[in-house]
Amino acid sequence: ITSRGPLFLADTSINIDPTAEELAEIATMTANLATAFGFDPVMALLSYSNFGSSNHPQAIKVKEAVKILHEKHPNLLVDGEIQTDFALNKELLQSQFPFSKLAGKKVNALILPNLESANITYKLLKELHAADTIGPIMLGLKRAVHILQLGASVDEMVNMTAVAVIDAQEREKRRNAKQGKSK
């Protein structure tokens, strides 16, 4: 949670160098998590380039992930590839890239291109006291798994316990709903 409100970061813990398809899936799971926490996801897929300004394979991967998301989830508010400053500064984005779906919007989810950049960003925000961190929250696993970072504070432990309880409750609801449908 930052001074500008909640900010979801993904993937900070699992996928080292995801493909475009995997980035799209990570973004979809992150959008679902934001929704489960009561937020309308407004998502930026980050890169060092903006909207095709680079033909490097890393930038193209992010651009392809955005294309997949636009095709599979046309109602999801997501755009990229985009640099962090443009993603987080809606006025700057509006002035330079008014065509972006994010122009004038307050982004609340950042999908980073690889584990290295995501983990560095997460820990940098935490250590600069720029955010109260909750996580990492593991998504897409068959079972509920939650981990604490080495050196986690008491507040972080309490927050992750709350996340684990909510996750277990949601999984139980889905399991009961599924069993109810099969009867």
CB 44 within 8 A of CB 87: yes
The pLDDT tens digits for 105-143 are 999 999 999 999 999 998 898 888 866 777 777 887 777
Percentage above 70 pLDDT, the chain: 97
d(CA 134, CA 128): 15
* Choice among 46-50, 133-137, 155-159, 170-174 with the minimum mean pLDDT: 133-137
Tens digit of each residue's pLDDT (9 = 90 or more) over 34-64: 998 899 999 999 999 999 999 999 999 999 9
Residues forming beta bridges with residue 65, ordered by sequence position: none
Question: What is the distance between the alpha carbons of residues 42 and 162, in angstroms, rounded to a whole number?
Answer: 24
pLDDT at residue 183 above 60?
no
> Residues near 183 by Cβ (< 8 Å), separated by ≥ 6?
none
Helix, strand, coil shares of the chain, percent, nearest 5, are 50, 10, 40
